[in-house]
Amino acid sequence: MNGNGIERVGRIQLRVHDFDKSVDYYTNVVGLDITARDENRVYLKAWDEWDHHSVILERSDSAGIDHIAFKVTSNDELSKLERKVEQFGCTVSRVSNRSRVGEGEAIRFILPTGHSFEFYNDIEYVGVPMGRVNPHPWPDGLRGIAPHRLDHALLSGDDIKSTVRLFTESLGFVQTEKVVTIDGENTIASWLTTTMSGHDIAFIKGPDAKLHHVGFYLENWNDILKASDILSRNECEIEVTPTRHGITRGQTIYFYDPSGNRNEVFTGGYAVYSDFPTITWTEDKLGQGIFYHARQLNEAFGTVFS
């Protein structure tokens, strides 16, 4: 969308402490496919994703996020982005080729919110089960919720201002929406995109280097309702039953994986162009912005991070 060389959110690596139960959950309840595994990591993709993986589960003693990464259009763009990030003031390191299964070289740096963030271009291409010639709209044998793709993540940290400046001024993201204090002086949440989606990544004021949730994309509202049925059938912890966001206009449900990482399945929203104006919400309307029907936040939604 922006000509900044950044294609989309590409992958997220999550820490999980109940490893076997978490692998079963992400494959049979969420419905992702395993593409590789080793002693401490499992690599997964959704059925409508073309690259080798979008989710990595890492065996750990705690829950949370190891890093999130965006795919870029070429290795030349990777070098350009490396310089931009360094000019902003972040220290950049190189992740060597094949440090993880199926991946080439990447650059890694720490956001002002404390999160590890990566850009990469090289990753193995595995395609989708329907193929590229006269394909059916979906494959046989889908399991569980079966989202189309990894969609976004919401992360928490203290320095929202610098983080938004990095993404908008240095990396060319569009800030689609923000939440400000009543006096308008401070931003307490921001939604950012490099595609035509309402958000590819978002940040909310909170503890540094934490995950609020990882979101997966479904096709329509009926799929959201079915996801709720599947979660209940499997006795998973559902935090918020199907509803609508005011912010992004999406339809949603929130729930937890066995380690306590919050998940979301999401659909709807609006298209974003490079001249999209930032929509502003004031803090007193945050409840309505997040949960448009209930118009208030539950206690855990604003306090539970992993």
Q: What single letter denotes the amino acid at residue 32?
A: L
Q: Phi, psi (5° rounding) for residue 297?
A: -90, 145
Task: Examine the residue annotation and report whether 212 is marked as an active-site residue of this protein.
Answer: no
Residue 144 has which token pair? 């569980």
The one catalytic residue among 118, 213, 217, 256: 213
Task: Examine the residue annotation and report whether 264 is marked as an active-site residue of this protein.
Answer: yes
The one catalytic residue among 52, 53, 115, 152: 152
Task: Examine the residue annotation and report whether 273 is marked as an active-site residue of this protein.
Answer: no
The one catalytic residue among 26, 67, 245, 256: 245
The beta strands (E) that lie in 73-223 are given as: 92-95, 106-110, 116-120, 149-157, 174-180, 187-193, 201-205, 210-217
The tokens 């918020």 sit on which residue? 240
The C-alpha atoms of residue 270 and residue 292 are separated, in whole angstroms, by 16
Is the Cβ–Cβ distance between 174 and 168 less than 8 Å? yes
Is the Cβ–Cβ distance between 58 and 13 less than 8 Å? yes
Name the helix (H) or strand (E) containing 230. Answer: helix 221-233
The one catalytic residue among 49, 118, 177, 264: 264
The one catalytic residue among 53, 199, 212, 217: 199
Q: Which value, to the nearest 10 degrees, does the dihedral of the CA atoms of residues 190, 6, 162, 189 take?
A: 10
Task: Examine the residue annotation and report whether 52 is marked as an active-site residue of this protein.
Answer: no
| Residues with catalytic function | 152, 199, 213, 245, 254, 264
